[in-house]
Structure formats: C-alpha cells, structure tokens
C-alpha cells in the first residue's frame, strides 16, 4: 500500500498571504538571516517577484537581527528594511537569538477585514534552515472578528499575538526603524502608513479583556526555565508525566571534569520540583552526533548518574521523504505519560522556541548573561507515539511532529563528538547616522540630501558620502552632497561611532517618488500608463518592472476603462482627456486606506509619461491638462479639498507631476489666453 506524504509547510511557506488578502506590513527578528530566504519569504508575503518589488521600492517588512549578522541590503531583498542596532543603544541581553515574525494582511476591498499572523521558529531565517536543518515552526492567525468572539481558541490566539507584540515593542527601541515612514505620499510613506495600521490592529489585540495566559513567552525579564512550569500547568495541566524528551543544537562547552551538562539536569529537576514529572522518568536527549559539545565530553559514570539516554534525531520520512540527512537544530522539550495499551500519549505538552539547552539560552538568571529568546508552550491532544498507530487524516503521531524516534538510534559516548564551539562574532552591524538619503536631480548629476524632521533627539556623528570611486562627495550646504552621475540605488557612508573605529555602511537612496533603492522608472506612453493605473493595486508585471512594457492584462477593460483605452492614437487632446477621465473614474472609487498607495502609483506612472507626444502637444499649446483633477468631482469625498490631509497630499503630488511635465505655469484647459 502506498504511503501518503504529510504536508508540512516549510519555514518560508508560513509567510504565504491568505488567498483572499494582501500583505500590509510585518516584522521579523532572529539571530541570523540571508538574502535567499528573505527574498523567497517576501515574494510569498507580497505575491510580487523580486523585479516587481524593486520597481515599487516600497518596504514591506522590518528585520531585526543580532548585531553580529551582516546588514542585508534592499537591493538584494527588495521590500526589506533591515533595522540595525543604534550605535549608542545599550542592549540588556547577551545575544539577540529569538526567531519571531509578526505579519499583517487585509482584504483589498474591505480594510477592516484584517488578519495578523504570529510565527515562532526554532531555525534561523536562512536557506540552510530550509534545506539542511531539522527545525520546527509554529504559527497562529488572528482575524479582526476574533476580537469580538467568545471562542476560547480565538481568544487564546489573540493573547499570543498581543504578547508577541509586547516582545517587539521592547525590542524595537534598540534599532533604527525610521525607514518605513515619511510625510505625504510616495512608497516610503505608503509603507509607514501600512505599518501604522498594523500597529493599530496589534494594539487592539492588547486591549481585549478576558484573554487567557499567552502560550508565547520570552526571556526579557526571566529565563525560559523559570517560566516553563507555570505555562505547562496553565496549558496542559498539572499532572505528573513519566516521559521527557529534550532536543537542542547546543549543550554548552565541555566541562573540564567531564561532568554531564547542567541545563538538561536543571530542566528535569525543575519539572520534578513543580510536580510535573515523576521521580523516575524515562528521559531521552536528542543530539547532533557530530556536534553535541559537552555531551560528547561527559564521563561514562556521569552519564550513568544522569540517567538519560542519548539518541540521534530522525527526520520524519512521511514529511521529508528520502532526503539526505539533516542536522538537528530544533530546540524542544516534550513530555507525556506513556504505558497505556492503546499507544496514545496522555497529558502531552511541547515547548519549542529559540532557546538552546544552554545557560545563556535557557536558565541564566541575569539578563545580561542570557540571550533574548522566545518560544511557545503548547498543550497537545489526540496524539499517539508511533506513526504506525496514527489514524485519521492528520496522522497525529509524536514521530510526525518532532524529529524523534526510539528504535535503533541510541548513541554511546564513543559514537558522538563535540564538534565546533558556538561561533563568536567580531563584526558589528550598526545603524549609520541617517537611514536614507533623498535624491534630487541637479544636472549633470544630482544631490543626495539627508532627510529632515526625523524623530531622533540624539546627536548624530558626522559622516561622508562616498562616490563610486570611494572618494568623499562634495557637500552642498549642511545636509546635501553632490553626486556625479545618475541616481544610485544605495550609497556608502563613512562615519565613526562614538568610541569605535571608523567604518563604512551602505544606506538606500529614495528617488523623487519616495521609492526605496528602486530600479529606474522606464519611459511610458499614455497607453501603457492606462494599464498600470487600471491594474492598481496590483504591481506591474515583471517585464514592465524591467522597463519592457507589454500590453494590457486580460480582462482589465471594464467600465470607463474600456472607453478610455479605446481612445485613438494621433489625437493628443482626446488621448489626454481619456486619461484624465480614467484617472477620475478610478480614483473616486479608491478606499481611503489605499489612497496613499494610489497617489504613489499615480505620481510614478504620470512622471514616466513626461515625454509622451500628447504631453508635448499640451506644452506646445501652452495648456495644463491636469487642472481638472484638482476639482472636487474628480476626487473621492475624503480628498476633495486641501483642508483634509488626503486632499493636501493629492494637491502636492499634482504640483510635482506638473513640474515633471513642465506645465506648472500654464493655464488650464478652457481658460482664456
């Protein structure tokens, strides 16, 4: 009989947007990450390719890593903003090691129908995790309707997400997270407004009354072990269990006297002291045979006294198939009662998270001596021990959920080696004095201007902007630098943090449309501009993002768009009026939460048409064709007048488009000459 494979999402697949919703903004933190994984995750999150995101230049995700991880550039991962640690910030923990993601989604046609997703991983956000490691991940979603639900499972998810947001609220002041922001319109401002909306959803979760104790927890205030017993009692019951399994990638450096590692012993003793484990339990310790640090250096008598069985991990074949061997990186603790004749697990619970079974990862009482870790404690049900005994479509067996097994995988001390110690990092990734520079065309090159009005009260060290040859650019006033060529996507800053050596760091450049480290805007004619505006909010197709604008997507001609797109070429006034009609018809139906994104798309698209024959014809006629768009009937009610913020932003973008078209000083159509 053919065995059925169990579908278990890979770590990257947990970032997939729901079919009926679109990405808004998200935060990810971890010890390390790489561009390959993050680019895949962002493509799944946004449903946009690398090229589309590079063209839009809109940050979708903020990343916080341990400062020993190299900075990840938005040119390598478009849509990513790496929030590096502020140079003067004093962290209260040893390593940033927690691996958590908080993602926000919403329905395109109903902004009040939002969803939040919490992901907790034992693995880093890297390709190696997906392809080579044995790791675990857990996630939970919260919908807007869950806040008004009395369903216990929904309230539990709300509590978990609220607690995870508290974790990020305490972490984010350490880093420079100013990039997704800005006033007015433009891609950076769109991202800032999206982030603010997701924050409001998260804060609404924290205000829900009657939430249960969260399953999510972290080591900001206490070690993971100090919190573990209370969470087990709350979510899985206070029964004594007779089985305990622990797994980890690291188990401390070897002791000089060959003693058994202290943390696994402390976990067992703590659970026994809290009445959660019998006095003579069966205990299995799952290790990497080729890299288990202190376990391999243990004396035989110390291992015998510890009364624990050392076992090799197993990659569940029903999930991974006949893939090559994977190394254990997951950190987990599992406990249950065994011995029942029907092979079911009684009172099972599971911890999974970032904390290794080390002092810094799990037990250290001093905040400065422990890592910042995070995990969840889950009460489980309907579990059996062995895969062969699993029944039903979910096939829930311990062997399917965890990288464990109990047949022919016991290891002797002779079969294991210590491996390399935990790698120390010498390089620090720090936030430069400014998070970005703004591009201003100034032929034959341009100006790179430092942003003004940033919310930063600390004095910033002086810095230089380096040209492509590595030379300092000439200053133009106090906050601008002359750039010798075309707009760069990123530039190097040379600066000296207080008390540290001089360093060079890269920062993104924002173009005139507020796009972050974006690829050049291709030239468009009015026909291509129509398709881009009609297809909003979808991103341009990849060939358009590369500058090769194709024909319209199938089925896009509807309503006014069909009539407008049919305007005959060769009649510049009629072509332009058809475009103005299309813009008015489209934008009067834009929902207010999408207004900033629409304004960004409109500005980018029309700037690209500055050389179209129809625009040139109006310049020759000395007429401004954009003036009708300033009239209230051509705008949504919330942006009809400059008195509203939406209306003010719209008038300002029309000013910029008129300057790009060189029609700003011309009279509107119909005005006497």
Band of pLDDT at residue 322, cut at 50, 70 and 90: low
Rounded distance between C-alpha atoms, residue 296 and residue 255, angstroms: 10
Question: For position 6, what pLDDT does the model report?
Answer: 46
Check pLDDT > 60 for residue 557.
no
Same domain, 182 and 329: no
Same domain, 571 and 507: no
Question: For position 672, what pLDDT does the model report?
Answer: 46
Domain that holds residue 551: 526-661
Same domain, 388 and 334: yes
pLDDT tens figures, 421-431:
777 776 789 99
Read off the CATH number of the domain in which 134 is found.
3.30.870
Residue 126 in domain: yes
Which range (140-154, 386-400, 409-423) has the least confidence?
386-400
Check pLDDT > 80 for residue 324.
no
Q: What is the mean pLDDT of the chain?
A: 87
Q: Which of 180, 214, 248 is the last residue of a domain?
A: 214
Other CB atoms within 10 A of residue 556 CB: 15
Mean pLDDT of 620-627: 90
Same domain, 64 and 27: yes
Check pLDDT > 50 for residue 378.
yes
Residue 421 in domain: no
**CA-based nearest residue to 618, from 581, 578, 651, 662:** 662
What share of the chain has pLDDT > 70, as a percent? Answer: 89
Band of pLDDT at residue 571, cut at 50, 70 and 90: confident
In the chain, the N- to C-terminal Cα span, in Å, equals 86
Band of pLDDT at residue 238, cut at 50, 70 and 90: very high
Predicted TM-score (pTM) of the model is 0.88
**DSSP E strand boundaries for 69-165:** 80-82, 100-106, 114-121, 133-134, 137-143
Question: For position 542, what pLDDT does the model report?
Answer: 58
Same domain, 227 and 288: yes
Check pLDDT > 80 for residue 12.
yes
Check pLDDT > 50 for residue 554.
no
Same domain, 238 and 125: no
Split into its structural domains, the chain has a count of 4
Q: Let me know how long the chain is.
A: 673
Band of pLDDT at residue 3, cut at 50, 70 and 90: very low
Question: For position 570, what pLDDT does the model report?
Answer: 52
Strands 327-328 and 133-134: parallel
Same domain, 533 and 481: no
Mean pLDDT of 354-381: 94
What share of the chain has pLDDT > 90, as a percent? Answer: 55
Check pLDDT > 80 for residue 439.
yes
Note whether 178 and 122 are within 8 A (CB).
no
């Amino acid at each position: 009989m053919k065995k059925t494979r169990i579908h278990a999402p890979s770590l990257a697949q947990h970032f997939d947007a729901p079919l009926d919703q679109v990405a808004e903004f998200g935060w990810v933190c971890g010890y390390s990450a790489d561009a390959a994984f993050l680019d895949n995750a962002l493509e799944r999150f946004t449903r946009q390719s690398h090229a589309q995101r590079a063209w839009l230049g809109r940050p979708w995700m903020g990343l916080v890593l341990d400062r020993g991880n190299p900075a990840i550039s938005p040119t390598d991962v478009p849509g990513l903003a790496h929030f590096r640690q502020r140079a003067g910030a004093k962290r209260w923990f040893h390593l940033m090691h927690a691996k958590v993601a908080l993602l926000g989604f919403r329905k395109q046609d109903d902004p009040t129908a939002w969803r939040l997703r919490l992901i907790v991983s034992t693995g880093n956000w890297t390709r190696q995790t997906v392809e080579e490691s044995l790791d675990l991940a857990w996630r939970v979603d919260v919908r807007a309707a869950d806040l008004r639900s009395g369903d216990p499972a929904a309230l539990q998810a709300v509590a978990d997400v609220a607690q995870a947001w508290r974790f990020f609220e305490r972490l984010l002041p350490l880093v420079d997270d100013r990039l997704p922001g800005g006033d007015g319109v433009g891609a950076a401002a769109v991202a800032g407004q999206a982030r603010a909306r997701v924050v409001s959803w998260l804060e609404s979760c924290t205000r829900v009354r009657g939430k249960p104790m969260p399953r999510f927890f972290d080591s900001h205030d206490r070690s993971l072990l100090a919190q573990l017993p209370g969470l087990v009692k709350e979510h899985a019951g206070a029964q004594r269990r007779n089985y305990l399994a622990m797994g980890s990638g690291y188990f401390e450096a070897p002791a000089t006297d060959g003693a058994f590692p202290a943390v696994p012993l402390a976990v067992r003793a703590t659970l026994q002291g809290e009445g959660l484990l019998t006095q003579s339990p069966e205990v299995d310790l799952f290790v990497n045979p080729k890299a288990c640090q202190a376990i391999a250096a243990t004396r035989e008598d110390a291992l015998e006294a510890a009364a624990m069985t050392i076992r090799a991990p197993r990659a569940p074949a029903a999930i991974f198939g006949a893939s090559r061997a994977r190394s254990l990186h997951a950190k987990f603790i599992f406990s249950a009662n065994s011995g029942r004749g029907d092979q079911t697990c009684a009172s099972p619970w599971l911890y999974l998270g970032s904390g290794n079974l080390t002092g810094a990862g799990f037990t250290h009482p001093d905040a400065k001596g422990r890592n910042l870790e995070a995990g969840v404690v889950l009460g489980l049900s309907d579990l059996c021990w062995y895969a062969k005994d699993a029944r039903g479509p979910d096939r829930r067996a311990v062997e399917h959920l965890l990288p464990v097994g109990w047949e022919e995988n016991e290891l002797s001390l002779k079969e294991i080696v210590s491996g390399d110690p935990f790698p120390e990092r010498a390089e620090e990734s720090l936030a430069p004095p400014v998070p970005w520079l703004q591009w201003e065309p100034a032929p034959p090159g341009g100006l790179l201007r430092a942003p003004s009005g940033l919310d930063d009260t600390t004095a910033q060290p002086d810095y230089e902007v380096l040209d492509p040859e590595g030379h300092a650019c000439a200053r133009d006033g106090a906050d601008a630098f002359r750039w010798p060529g075309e707009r760069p996507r990123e530039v190097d800053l040379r600066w000296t943090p207080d008390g540290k050596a001089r360093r060079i760091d890269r920062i993104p450049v924002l173009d005139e449309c507020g796009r972050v480290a974006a690829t050049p805007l291709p030239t468009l004619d009015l026909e291509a501009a129509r398709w881009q505006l009609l297809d909003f909010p979808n991103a341009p197709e990849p060939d358009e993002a590369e500058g090769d604008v194709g024909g319209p997507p199938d089925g896009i001609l509807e309503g006014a768009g069909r009539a407008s797109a049919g305007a005959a070429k060769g009649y510049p006034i009629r072509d332009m009026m058809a475009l103005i009609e299309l813009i008015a018809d489209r934008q009067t139906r834009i929902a207010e939460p999408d207004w900033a994104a629409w304004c960004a798309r409109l500005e980018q698209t029309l700037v690209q048409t500055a050389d179209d024959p129809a625009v040139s014809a109006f310049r020759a006629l000395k007429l401004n064709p954009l003036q009708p768009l300033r009239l209230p009937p051509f705008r949504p009610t919330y942006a009809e007048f400059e008195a509203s913020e939406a209306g003010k932003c719209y008038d300002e973008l029309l000013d910029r488009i008129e300057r790009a078209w060189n029609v700003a000083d011309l009279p509107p159509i119909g005005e006497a000459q």
